[in-house]
Amino acid sequence: MLEFNTPKMDLREYDTAKYHYYNTLNYNRLPLTSWDFYGQFLQGLNYNLSDLKMLENLTESHNWTSSFDFKKELQQENIIVVTDSNLKIVFASHNIVTMTGYESQELIGGSPKLFQGKATSKKTSAEIKKAIDARLPFEKTVVNYKKSGEMYDCHIKGFPVFNKKGELSHFIAFERAA
């Protein structure tokens, strides 16, 4: 066994020197609240990754022929809503809560009509329905309603999605507050 013959050190001098050194430094301390921003950013990033994975799974499991740049849409903070061919919501990106007040899970199985109300233009709704019935892409701005009842303008780019057999599979909408 090796033995080291080291003298016992008094660390008080070291602690005092360290204390004086750090007190002479000129640096700004971050307030604890700044970590909230990082936490929100990290949570948003995790949601985007989760949404991206779910959208990729939908694409693969339903053999979609269309290829959308979901990553780009999510990075641009667009909301993505996917409905089945009967217009029942099967996916809503996590960031939908910021625009509508609804959590994405609350919308699954529901209809996009739940966002409509008195001020929603019947003409614009009819134009969207016509495009959906004809299985054509559309781009419209509509007055929608939040969960709280507050109105907001929503810009929607909607697309029919077909599988590799050429059958209508889903509809997808990229939305943002207008």
What CATH number did the domain enclosing 114 receive?
A: 3.30.450.20
- How far out from the chain centre does Cα 147 lie? 18
Q: What is the pLDDT of residue 46?
A: 86
Look at residue 26 and tell me if it is in a domain.
Answer: no
Look at residue 164 and tell me if it is in a domain.
Answer: yes
Q: What angle do CA 139, 121, 160 make, to 5 degrees?
A: 30
Look at residue 1 and tell me if it is in a domain.
Answer: no
Instruction: State how far the Cα of 170 lies from the Cα of 59, in Å rounded to an integer.
Output: 10
Conformation bin of residue 132: beta by default, left when phi > 0, alpha when psi is -120 to 50: alpha
Instruction: State how far the Cα of 107 lies from the Cα of 155, in Å rounded to an integer.
Output: 19
Look at residue 73 and tell me if it is in a domain.
Answer: yes
Look at residue 11 and tell me if it is in a domain.
Answer: no
Residues facing residue 65 across a β-bridge: none
Look at residue 3 and tell me if it is in a domain.
Answer: no
Look at residue 4 and tell me if it is in a domain.
Answer: no
Element (H, E) at 97: helix 96-100
Task: Specify whether the CB–CB gap between 161 and 64 falls below 8 A.
Answer: yes
Look at residue 145 and tell me if it is in a domain.
Answer: yes
Instruction: State how far the Cα of 79 lies from the Cα of 174, in Å rounded to an integer.
Output: 6
Task: Kindly give the pairing relationship between strand 151-162 and strand 168-177.
Answer: antiparallel
Q: What is the pLDDT of residue 40?
A: 75
Task: Specify whether the CB–CB gap between 115 and 100 falls below 8 A.
Answer: yes
**Interacting residues of 139 by C-beta distance below 8 A, sequence separation 6+:** 155, 156, 157, 158
Residues facing residue 89 across a β-bridge: 83
Provide the domain count of the chain: 1
Cβ burial of 157 (10 Å; 0-12, 13-18, 19+) is middle
Q: For each of the chain's 178 residues, which pLDDT tens digit applies?
A: 555 555 666 678 878 888 777 777 776 666 656 566 667 777 878 888 999 999 999 999 999 988 899 999 998 999 999 999 999 999 999 999 999 999 999 999 999 999 999 999 999 999 999 999 999 999 999 999 999 999 999 999 999 999 999 999 999 999 999 9
Residue 152 domain boundaries: 35-177
Q: What is the pLDDT of residue 135?
A: 97
